[in-house]
Amino acid sequence: RKEVEQDPGPFNVPEGATVAFNCTYSNSASQSFFWYRQDCRKEPKLLMSVYSSGNEDGRFTAQLNRASQYISLLIRDSKLSDSATYLCVVMLNTGGFKTIFGAGTRLFVKA
C-alpha cells in the first residue's frame, strides 16, 4: 500500500463547477499536511496547508480527518486556470523528518 494515495483522475469539469479531491495516508504518525499545485512541465508550488479545524483560502477549502486518515481539497466555482495536477503532501517524524508526496490528481476545467 502506498503511504499517500490519490485518485489520479483526470477530473474533467466545466467552468463554475465544484470539484473535490481526496487523499489518504497510511501512517498515523503523520503530523503536517499540504496541498501543492503543479502545472504541466513546471515545478510544484504550495497551494495551502491543511489544518485540523479545516481552512479556507478563497475558492479553496481543505479538510483533515485524522480518524479516517484522509485530507480533502474542495475547489468552488472552477476556473480554466485551475487546470493542473494537485499533489497531496504529508510530513511525519519517525525518528527523522520525512515528507511524502502523492502522485497527484489531474484536473481539467473546460469552457
Partner 1 sequence: DGGITQSPKYLFRKEGQNVTLSCEQNLNHDAMYWYRQDPGQGLRLIYYSQIVNDFQKGDIAEGYSVSREKKESFPLTVTSAQKNPTAFYLCASRAGEWDTQYFGPGTRLTVL
Site of interaction with partner 1 (CB under 8 A): 8, 31-32, 34, 41-46, 49, 87, 89, 91, 93, 97, 99, 101-104
Instruction: Write down the least CB distance from residue 49 to partner 1, Å.
Output: 7
φ, ψ (nearest 5 deg) of residue 8: -70, -20
Nearer to partner 1, 76 or 98 (CB): 98
Q: Comparing C-alpha atoms, which of 88, 79, 78, 100 is closest to residue 37?
A: 88
CB of 18 to partner 1, least distance (A): 26
Shortest reach from residue 43's CB to partner 1, in Å = 4
Q: What is the three-state SS of 56-98?
A: EECCEEEEEECCCCEEEEEECCCCHHHCEEEEEEEEEECCCEE
- Least distance from C-beta 34 to partner 1, angstroms? 5
Distance CA 68, CA 84 (A): 27
Our CB check for partner 1 shows the closer of 18 and 31 to be 31
Q: Decide whether 57 or 97 has the Cβ nearer to partner 1.
A: 97
Q: Please give the C-alpha separations between residue 34 and each of 8, 17, 98, in angstroms, as whole numbers.
A: 17, 23, 13
CB of 43 or CB of 81, closer to partner 1? 43
